[in-house]
Amino acid sequence: MKTIGLITSGGDSPGMNAAVRSVVRSSSYNGLIVKAASRGYQGVLDNDIRELDSDSVSGIIQRGGTILKTARCKEFHTAEGREKAATVLKSHEIDALIVIGGDGSFRGADLLSNEHQMPVIGIPATIDNDLAGTDETIGYDTALNTAMVAIDKIRDTADAHDRLFLVEVMGRDVGFIALETGISIGAELILLPEAQTKTEEVISSLKSILKEQIRSSIVVVAEGNGTGGAWNLADQIKDDFSKYDMKVCILGHIQRGGTPTARDRVLASQLGHAAVKAAIEGHTSVMVGVVNNQIKLSPLKMASSKKKDIDYDTLELSKILQ
């Protein structure tokens, strides 16, 4: 083992740079060279590959986004694309590829490994926190804090006018961000993709909440909830709440950017180091994760095929506290 390949792939998340830095510095500590491709699998196919040394990752731990850039690459979905990628990686004498990304990137990595005997290690980075095999993914904590701070500001203006706000957060398939942001801002109602809420249920819950209080109310809506997102929901309930000054706010891409929290920087540093160690030990097709504060390796197949469930005790708690 002499050379490690490295990419960031798929959706970006804050903390990816901290993981890049950790992979590079841990490799250097172990006498290994790191060759990184720009723009994920696309950069591999374009042979856009450069060597990174310890100095080249100075001053990036606090930066959101990824210095390597990330991309979605259609060609890598084809067997020919993956064959070309394997040829490029082998021409650089890359002995193992570390992929920082989400479930899609891991599906591609797993295929590359099986078809071309290229050892691959995954580092889970997505704001959605939906990957089985790790308690938390890189970027989730930052996204949560970004959403919380933004909604705290919305609460100030909502309070000033006794307004009803529908705030949409990211989460098409899973509701981690909605659930934990909702708890942290004291939401009056939280709507998740896991509970495909019907509009009539929202109307009756909101009516009973509004009967009991005359102050502001905030409904946190995951974009994948059965009501079709905050704008759709507003449209469906506006007649029932016409006497309230109802407002909609879509938080959108601010949830993806920004300087990573301390927790994400530390997690990314731990996982970057664990990935290099796993590569040196000869593991392949595994994802590094943290489970109960311990580093754990799990099959990439599991991480890429099984969405992690939200914690149903936390969901119950959110209902008690509403």
Binding site for ligand ADP (CB under 6 A): 9-11, 41, 72-73, 76-77, 101-105, 107-108, 111, 126
Please give the Cα distance from 163 to 284 (Å, whole number). Answer: 53
Which residue lies nearer to ligand ADP by CB, 33 or 267? 267
130 is catalytic: no
- Least Å distance, CB 135 to ligand ADP, is 19
Which residue shows structure tokens 């009756």? 204
Which residue lies nearer to ligand ADP by CB, 88 or 191? 88
User: Which residue's CB atom is positioned nearest to ligand ADP?
Assistant: 104
- Strand runs labelled E in 29-92: 33-37, 49-52
In angstroms, what CA-CA distances link 7 with 35, 246, 269, 322? 9, 44, 16, 42
Please give the Cα distance from 275 to 271 (Å, whole number). Answer: 6
Please give the Cα distance from 310 to 176 (Å, whole number). Answer: 6
Which residue lies nearer to ligand ADP by CB, 101 or 289? 101
Which residue lies nearer to ligand ADP by CB, 163 or 256? 256
The answer to whether the CB of 43 falls within 8 A of the CB of 59 is no
In this structure, the dihedral spanned by the alpha carbons of residues 254, 259, 260 and 265, taken in order and rounded to 10 degrees, is 160
- Least Å distance, CB 100 to ligand ADP, is 9
Which three-class secondary structure state does DSSP give residue 68? Answer: coil
| Residue of 95, 103, 110, 128 marked active site | 128
Any idea what DSSP says for residue 183?
Answer: H
- Evaluate the CA torsion angle 170, 174, 175, 176 in order and state its sign: negative
Which residue lies nearer to ligand ADP by CB, 107 or 247? 107
- Least Å distance, CB 228 to ligand ADP, is 23
- Least Å distance, CB 40 to ligand ADP, is 6
- Least Å distance, CB 140 to ligand ADP, is 13
Query: Would you state the structure tokens that stand for residue 144, as one six-digit string?
Result: 């949560």
Query: Would you state the structure tokens that stand for residue 84, as one six-digit string?
Result: 């070309």
Catalytic center residues? 128
